[in-house]
Structure 1
Amino acid sequence: MKIIIQHNSMVPIYEQLVNQIKSLILEESLKENEPLPSVRVLAKEIRASALTVKKAYDLLEQEGFITTIHGKGSFVLSVNKHAKRENLLYSTQEELEQVIKKARQAGISKAELAELVAMILEEEEA
């Protein structure tokens, strides 16, 4: 499992973890019943506190993405298609909001931003 944590980001580490693990589950890089690394192992890998990883796992469990079996570990749960689509729409919206914020800070107009998005979409379709 490849997790990249930006320690200098304004986004808390546990939130970065939750978002990345959710993405891996939703894009099916992590499959149903697949075990996640133990809290200690993942904490060591990402150079973070075990409590931070535990908090992320607890949130993922509350949201129905994983289950934790005492003494065995944490495992990926099945995600229904509707929930998957909703989650992807939500994360896309969040990312777009960040892009729009950056564009405004850079003085990019709505028209310029729309043109840029249209251009990128055309490139993706080719």
Structure 2
Amino acid sequence: MGDAAETLFERIIAGEIPADVVYQDETTFAFRDINPQARVHVLVVPRKKYRNVGELAEADPQLLSDVLLTARKVAELEGISGNGYRVVFNTGSDAGQTVFHVHAHVLGGEQLGMFGRPQGGVH
């Protein structure tokens, strides 16, 4: 794992920073986003640190599968699997990634808008 300091997510997983935990197992950890973008907004983080989803997919496809299975489990636990939910991986700062420990956003519980460029067009 050794690159630089511990990430915020590593500190949350270690219990150093409190979080509203939704689900956890041997390989993944899921907790509510502190700035939710939908009625349900849960982050799913692999316990082992990879910088982004591409790095994770290349290095450990099974762990990527575990993250996605946990996302499905979170949707079931939150009661949103029937009506639908979105799973988003942001990669890099232009996409909005602010913590460089790969994580999936599970969003739902309401009708979600389109995504991409913010309203108002090109900046």
Instruction: Tell me whether the two structures share a fold, i.e. TM-score over 0.5.
Output: no
Higher helix share: 1
- Ranked by relative contact order (alpha carbons within 8 Å, sequence separation 6 or more), the top structure is 2
Largest Rg, 1 or 2: 1
Higher strand share: 2
